[in-house]
Structure 1
C-alpha cells in the first residue's frame, strides 16, 4: 500500500483544525466553570456601567438607547481585546508543540484568533438575546456594516497581538507595558464615554485611535439613527488592521527562533 502525500495546504489545515480544537477544550474546560466566566466578564462590565448610566438618568447616547450603545460598544471592544491578548500569548503557551515540525508559531496564533472570534460571537448572541428579553431592540439595521466593522476590529486585534508577541519575545518586560496600555485604550476608544462629548481639539486627537472608528460604525450599523462622530472611517480601521497584520507576519517570520526558544 502506498502512502498518499498531502499537500502543504492540507497539512496546514490539519494543524489549524487540531490546534483550534485543543485551544477550545483548554479555554472552556481548563478550570471549573471556565465557560461561565467567559460570559460573565462582559456581562459584569455591561451591568455595572449600565447601572451607573441609570443612576445619572442618561437614557440615550447619540440618538439611540443607552443600553444598546453600551452593549454594542463593549462587545466590539472585547472582540479586539480578547483576540489581541490570546494571540499575544499564543506562542508562549504552546512552546512544547513546536517540537513537531508541522507546527509553527503563527499556527497557534491563527488558531487562537479564530477561536476567539467564534467564542465572542456566541457570547454576543447570548448577551444580545438577554437584552432583547428585557425589551430592547437588538436587531441591527445594517448587519453587513456591523460584520465589516467587527471583522476590522478582529483583524486589528490579530495584528496587534502578533506584534506584541514578538516584542515580548525580544524584551520580556514589554508585557507589563502592553498591559498598562490596554486600560487607557478602554477609556479613549469611546467604549464607556461618548467621543462626541469630548471637546475639540482633544476629539480630533482621539480619532487617531482606530478602535474609535470601529465602535462608531458598529453602533451605527445597529441603529441608523445613531449620530456618528464626524471624521470616522472604516478605511482607516482597515488600514491599521492590514498594516499591523502584515507587520506582525514579517516579525513572526524574522524572529521565529526567538518565539520558539523564548
Structure 2
C-alpha cells in the first residue's frame, strides 16, 4: 500500500518523486550487477578495490621512509589523499559517455538521463566512502599508524563537500561528453595533471610562498586541506576557504544540470 502524500505537497509530485526513487534504485542494482556480477565477492569489489589501491600506496610511501619526515601520520595522509583522488577520478570516468551503453533504458518514460548519472555517481560515493571509513577504522584498531580524527564532524562535512564537488564535476563532464567528443580525448590526460595538483600529495603550508597562492585556486586543494584539518589539524597549519569550495560545488552542480538539459534538447532536435 503506497504511503500517503505528505501534507502541503501535490499528490502527483509525491508520486513522481517515489517513481524516480525506485528508478534510481533499480539503476543502482543494474549497475552493480553489470559491473561486478554475482561471482567471487561480487559487489564487495565496490569498496575492496579502492581499499587495495590505497593500502598499496600507503605501503610504498612507508617503505620509502616518508613517515620519518614529519610527525603527521603518513598512513592517514595517504588514506585521505588517495581516497579523494579515487572519488573524483572514478566518478568522472563513469559519467563520461555513460548514456551510450544505457541508451535503450531511455525508451522507458520514467528513466531520465539525470537518473543514469545519479545512479553511477551514488555508487562511486558509496564505494569510496565505505573504503575510506573501513581503512580508517582498521588501521585505528590494528595498528598505531593512525589516530582518531581530532574533529570528526569536520571530517564528515569535508568529505561531504568532496563528494558534492566530485558529483558536480562528473555531471558537468558527463553532459559535455554527450555534446562533444573532446571531453573523452582530453579528460584522461588532464586527470594525470590534476593528480599532483589536487593537494593529495602535499600540504599547502609546506609550499613556497608564490606557489602556495597558485594552488589555492584549485578547489580540490581546499577539500583536501579541510579533510586533513579534521584529522590532524593540530600538527600543521591548514589553508582552505569554505566559501570558495562551496561556490565551486554549487557552480558545477548548476552547470551540470544546465548542460544535461541542453543535452536532452540536443537529442530531441
Number of corresponding residues = 256
Q: Which structure would you say has the larger RCO, counting Cα contacts within 8 Å and 6 or more residues apart? A: 1
Q: Distance in 1 between matches of 2:102 and 2:36?
A: 17
Contact 1:79-1:150 at 8 Å conserved across structures: no
Contact 1:83-1:157 at 8 Å conserved across structures: yes
Distance 1:97 1:240, change over 3 A: same
The offset of 1:198, in angstroms, is 2.4
Distance 1:194 1:54, change over 3 A: farther
Contact 1:16-1:111 at 8 Å conserved across structures: yes
Which residues of 2 match residues 66-215 of structure 1 at below 5 A? 66-132=74-140, 133-215=142-224
Query: RMSD in angstroms over aligned alpha carbons?
Result: 2.6
Contact 1:98-1:105 at 8 Å conserved across structures: yes
Which residue among 45, 49, 56 is the counterpart of 1:40? 49
1:254 aligns with 2:262: yes
Q: Distance in 2 between matches of 1:233 and 1:259?
A: 39
Which residues of 2 match residues 223-262 of structure 1 at below 5 A? 223-230=232-239, 232-258=240-266
TM-score normalised by structure 1 residue count? 0.86
After TM superposition, the structure 1 stretch with the greater mean CA deviation from structure 2, 198-207 or 87-96, is: 87-96
Q: Distance in 2 between matches of 1:244 and 1:217?
A: 19
SS of equivalent residue, structure 2 residue 118: helix
After TM superposition, the structure 1 stretch with the greater mean CA deviation from structure 2, 32-41 or 183-192, is: 32-41
Q: Distance in 1 between matches of 2:89 and 2:153?
A: 22
Distance 1:253 1:25, change over 3 A: same
Residue segments in structure 1 that go unaligned for 5+ positions in a row: none
TM-score normalised by structure 2 residue count? 0.84
Query: CA offsets per residue over residues 194-222 of structure 1, 9 Å max, x none?
Result: 33332121121111110111011111111
Distance 1:29 1:67, change over 3 A: same
Distance 1:72 1:259, change over 3 A: farther
Contact 2:61-2:67 at 8 Å conserved across structures: no
Q: Distance in 2 between matches of 1:259 and 1:131?
A: 49
The residue number in structure 1 matching 2:22 is 14
Residue segments in structure 2 that go unaligned for 5+ positions in a row: 5-10
The offset of 1:121, in angstroms, is 2.0
